[in-house]
Structure 1
């Protein structure tokens, strides 16, 4: 009889313990963590303000172009990492140049509906007098959000030429992670 009472008490304790660890209904309806932004969730473009425009007419130092992503979906989503950027040249000899990444560490960016973030591209412009084979003339940028495969096609609006270093190990033209 003692063992039956012990078994009944143990069963009651297990049931009571299970009930005590049940998730309250209010917690079950809590919001899930946002998932990553997909290309279809976003709009993209070049920042065009005076302080955001690259100085393509100067040739003695690097300058930066800024590309933005805006969440146009109705949900909150995240971006983290580096966008993929392929520059397509205007000259027959330019071809396509896939930009290298900086050594900067990416941070996770949370974008609510209508929020914007972006990234910079460091550019090394060259003078018009630079030999044609040493310069890349950008025509458009193919910009793929982090962890996506579909891209945006952005027409290059700033003119100028960039020192052609598409085969360099550490080129003067490269991109930074989203959020920096």
Structure 2
């Protein structure tokens, strides 16, 4: 059940999971991290567009899609960091968010600017898309063992 004054509560496994058809995705404004210059956090917000409550928890799949990069191709599959809530209910019309963290290339490093983001909500198989900010190039780290670009787990949005 939803807490008083809010739309998001801890879910149980009995709450049906949100599907791609239940959601719309919104990409927030990038913000440079204070403790890591050149690294940016971008809110990835899922809104429940239905008239029922559904469970949204886990780590979404996120692919950045852009020009064909000679070494890695046109798609950058972001690694997932499972640091979200265990269960989460999203009531009708409310949201839950994950954060995408990316590294912006330094001067002289290869710049790659995605055109869009495709995301598959946890428990779903179909993707939602959002336009990528045209002024935020990304340093491709597809083969890195400790990349600075990744997607975090879903958290309940504040009421």
TM over 0.5: same fold? yes
Q: C-alpha separation between the residues in 1 aligned to 2:64 and 2:23?
A: 20
In the TM superposition, 1:19-168 aligns within 5 A as: 33-48=14-29, 53-55=30-32, 60-93=37-70, 94-127=73-106, 129-132=107-110, 135-168=111-144
TM-superposed CA distance for 1:103, in Å, is 4.7
TM-superposed CA distance for 1:105, in Å, is 4.7
The runs of 5 or more residues in structure 2 that have no matched partner are 1-12
CA RMSD of aligned residues (A): 2.3
SS in structure 1 of the partner of residue 97 of structure 2: strand
Change in 2 beyond 3 A, CA 1:92/1:172? closer
Q: C-alpha separation between the residues in 2 aligned to 1:101 and 1:70?
A: 21
SS in structure 1 of the partner of residue 31 of structure 2: coil
Structure number with bigger Rg? 1
Deviations along 1:6-31, one digit per CA (max 9) or x if unpaired, are xxxxxxxxxxxxxxxxxxxxxxxxxx
The higher relative CO (CA closer than 8 Å, separation ≥ 6) is in 2
Q: Partner residue of 1:178? A: 154
CA contact (8 A) 2:38 2:105 kept: no
Change in 2 beyond 3 A, CA 1:87/1:104? same
SS in structure 1 of the partner of residue 42 of structure 2: strand
TM-superposed CA distance for 1:33, in Å, is 3.6
* Worse-superposed segment, 158-167 or 37-46: 158-167
TM-superposed CA distance for 1:117, in Å, is 0.8
Q: C-alpha separation between the residues in 1 aligned to 2:123 and 2:108?
A: 37
* Worse-superposed segment, 151-160 or 115-124: 151-160
The runs of 5 or more residues in structure 1 that have no matched partner are 1-31
